[in-house]
Structure 1
Amino acid sequence: MPRFLRTILAASFLLFAPAVFAASSNVVNVYTWSQEIPNAVITEFEKETGIRVNYTSFDSNEIMYAKLRAVKNSAYDVIEPSSYYIDRMRRQNMLEKLDRSKLSQFKNLDPEFLNLPYDPRSLYSVPFIWGTTGIFMNKNYFSENEVLQWSDLLKKKYANQLMILDDPREAFSMALLMLGYSINDTNPAHIKQAYIKLRELMPNIRLFNTDAVTSILIDEDATIGIAWNGDLFKANLENSQLMFVYPKDGFEIWVDNFAILKSAPHKENAYQFLNFMLRPDIAKSVSININYATANLAAKNLMPPSIKNNSVLYPSAALLRHGQFETDIGDATFALYEKYWEQLKMGV
């Protein structure tokens, strides 16, 4: 999930010191999204189990993947890729097939987040945090039903007003949905059409951003555009005029999943860590701390009504059926994204 963009520790430290961390059996080496697991949760796990956690974080799936591929056997045990990298890494035989008999807390997961296209039988991943990408508007400036689908953002009246997430996959997903294609489309002709659609949108774009979305929404530096639902939920706590729209022409659903590397040196400790994170009280604590939805149904049921009944964080099952889960689009398609993304930013 390119949703948290500050790295807590230098990821390269674990990567290039595998012997040091593999030497001790009473540790677990964890590599997750930045700011996703609070320090208090790590401390509680260590206190309860006596297992020391070497915790490292990353700020993009691409960084995580590149570092794991850079060495034959990394020292990491538990990692947390987003859905489309689970898809890629399981195909590349990088992930351990999970032993459900060692995951007593797996039963707490929401069935809606199991057996999805990126891991059809949920053999390699444990869904943890999830979210969606949609349209945000500020009611001080726009009427409630003014924008209902992605293509509405193309209207000339929104010239120089939109904030777009500074992420090529997010932007191309939006453009592909405008055209009626899947967010996982790999047809080069369709990708080019999406690029042309983004060029059409450019006069309406005021700024690209990913790392300060919440503050931009709160301060009204942008009043319409694209956002992740968790950022909108958090910003809405300080600016009640913000609203989130699930576009009628579809939207992206992303999921951050735990997995165990096939080369993990401490697999038994990794299972203990996963069971701990799947406990309802722990999953609830993490979700509330980061303001994103949990894939743990038992944890959701412990939430206060103001959270578990919030339609921004937890849209109805009927609405979710209009969303699409990210799967791996492959290197060739992503290279096309980056080529067109650079051209878009340069105004070519």
Structure 2
Amino acid sequence: MTKKRVGMGFLAFFLLFALVLTGCGDKETGGKSDEKVLNVFNWSEYLPQSVIDQFEEETGIKVNYDTYSSNEEMLAKLSAGNAGYDITVASTYFIEIMIKQEMLAKINKENIPNIKNIGEDFLGTSADPNDEYSVPYMWGKAVIAVNEDLVEKEVTSYADLFDPEFKNNLVVLDDVRSIVGTMLAMLGYSQNSTDEKELEEAKQKLLELKPNIKAFDSDSPKTLLVSGEVKAGIVWGAEATLAAQENAAIKTVFPSEGLNLWQDNFVIPKDAPHKENAEKFIDFILRPEISKEISMDYPYGNPNVEAVKLLPEDIRKSLEVPSEVLEKGEYNIDVGEATQIYDRIWSEVKNN
């Protein structure tokens, strides 16, 4: 090797080393906070474009917006590293996983004064008891939606969906925890069971239900309901509400076995390049009038109590769940190593 080559090699190494140090510095400090960019990773059909447009116009921050269809998809992409996202939305039990894996940055609540609008019942979750890593966005439930014009019998439970009348006539959420959870509830078990025998029973029930399932869809299950292509389904509560707005024959049923409940929360990845912009975005979303606008388009449960006050009465009523129904419901929690069993069950059922 000539001296020239040695020198160039050393220079290249030095520059590379400097770049690595610079990159590490950016990640530790939250990146280029002065750059007018925000990279968002969110569920599909969960934030109106009008809200993004207002944020961009007011702040001058350009929003790059990508979507996913499940918590699992979101986690896989972030776990791969260098995803470049500044903010994402995770269900509470996934926050627990992400904190354990040191994937999240602590949120500076001084940059989010509108957090005062969040109801106390939605703060201090089991996954983030001190609210260091997350800010509530929406909450909801999996419900049964029924097209009463097409269904002869009264539906009151998950068990009713096994009737031959529903053969190839159900749409079911493509969400392992929600659907395996509903089968566990029907069997009288916890929706967060880690018992292999109980989970095997739930799998057998799902396989028994499979001939009745026309489609698995978490993105827009209301589409098949509204068109009449299916008679009923296990869907997000907001999807049932939206379907009823387009087709009055569609009714929401709270299953007698108990609801599967969830809460979604804003989180900031540890390597977010524009952390302050993410906090600015969260604060913007938590404005009552903005949060109300989101609920008008996507009527999930809203933890923003000031926004709920602004909603029309019909939307407010659609969000109400009787206390006795909520008491029978169960929120998903991290099931640890049993997650692998849930995933295996889901794969076997869908590929059967």
TM-score by length of 2: 0.83
Map of 2:206 onto structure 1: 198
- Structure 1 range deviating more: 177-186 or 149-158: 149-158
Give secondary structure in 1 for the equivalent of 2:183.
helix
Q: Is 1:224 matched with 2:232? A: yes
Q: Is 1:252 matched with 2:260? A: yes
Following superposition, the deviation at residue 296 of structure 1 comes to 1.1
Determine the C-alpha separation between the residues in 2 that align with 1:317 and 1:279.
27
Determine the C-alpha separation between the residues in 1 that align with 2:103 and 2:151.
47
Give secondary structure in 2 for the equivalent of 1:226.
strand
Determine the C-alpha separation between the residues in 1 that align with 2:160 and 2:280.
48
Map of 1:341 onto structure 2: 346
Flag the 1:317–1:116 CA change in 2: closer, same or farther, 3 A: farther
Tell me if the contact between 1:22 and 1:75 (Cα under 8 Å) persists in the aligned partners: no
Map of 1:242 onto structure 2: 250
Give secondary structure in 2 for the equivalent of 1:295.
coil
Give secondary structure in 2 for the equivalent of 1:131.
strand
Flag the 1:167–1:119 CA change in 2: closer, same or farther, 3 A: same
1:39 maps to which of 33, 42, 49:
49
Letter in 1 for 2:68: F
CA-based RMSD of the aligned residues comes to 2.6
Determine the C-alpha separation between the residues in 2 that align with 1:291 and 1:240.
16
Flag the 1:29–1:160 CA change in 2: closer, same or farther, 3 A: closer
1:52 maps to which of 56, 62, 66:
62
Determine the C-alpha separation between the residues in 1 that align with 2:65 and 2:216.
31
Determine the C-alpha separation between the residues in 2 that align with 1:161 and 1:346.
18
Tell me if the contact between 1:26 and 1:52 (Cα under 8 Å) persists in the aligned partners: no
1:89 maps to which of 98, 104, 115:
98
Following superposition, the deviation at residue 284 of structure 1 comes to 0.9
Determine the C-alpha separation between the residues in 2 that align with 1:120 and 1:333.
23
Determine the C-alpha separation between the residues in 1 that align with 2:178 and 2:221.
14
Deviations 1:58-81 (A, max 9, x none): 33322221221112x553222212
Map of 1:29 onto structure 2: 39
Tell me if the contact between 1:29 and 1:55 (Cα under 8 Å) persists in the aligned partners: yes
Identical aligned residues as a percent: 38
Tell me if the contact between 1:26 and 1:50 (Cα under 8 Å) persists in the aligned partners: no
Following superposition, the deviation at residue 274 of structure 1 comes to 1.2
Deviations 1:183-237 (A, max 9, x none): 2222222211111222232344344333442121112111123111111111101
Tell me if the contact between 2:299 and 2:315 (Cα under 8 Å) persists in the aligned partners: no
1:113 maps to which of 117, 122, 138:
122
Flag the 1:141–1:182 CA change in 2: closer, same or farther, 3 A: same
Q: Is 1:327 matched with 2:333? A: yes
Q: Which runs of 5+ in 2 are unaligned?
A: 1-22
Q: Is 1:315 matched with 2:339? A: no
Give secondary structure in 1 for the equivalent of 2:42.
strand
Letter in 1 for 2:155: V
Deviations 1:154-193 (A, max 9, x none): 3455444433323333321111111122222222222111
TM-score by length of 1: 0.83
Letter in 2 for 1:32: N
Following superposition, the deviation at residue 346 of structure 1 comes to 4.5
Flag the 1:116–1:148 CA change in 2: closer, same or farther, 3 A: farther
Determine the C-alpha separation between the residues in 1 that align with 2:60 and 2:347.
48
Determine the C-alpha separation between the residues in 2 that align with 1:239 and 1:57.
27
Deviations 1:302-345 (A, max 9, x none): 001111122xx332344322221222233x43332333333334
Deviations 1:257-278 (A, max 9, x none): 1112233233322221111111
Map of 1:62 onto structure 2: 72
Map of 1:10 onto structure 2: none
Larger Rg: 2
2:171 maps to which of 163, 166, 169:
163
Give secondary structure in 1 for the equivalent of 2:310.
coil
Q: Is 1:270 matched with 2:275? A: no
Letter in 2 for 1:33: W
Q: Which runs of 5+ in 1 are unaligned?
A: 1-16
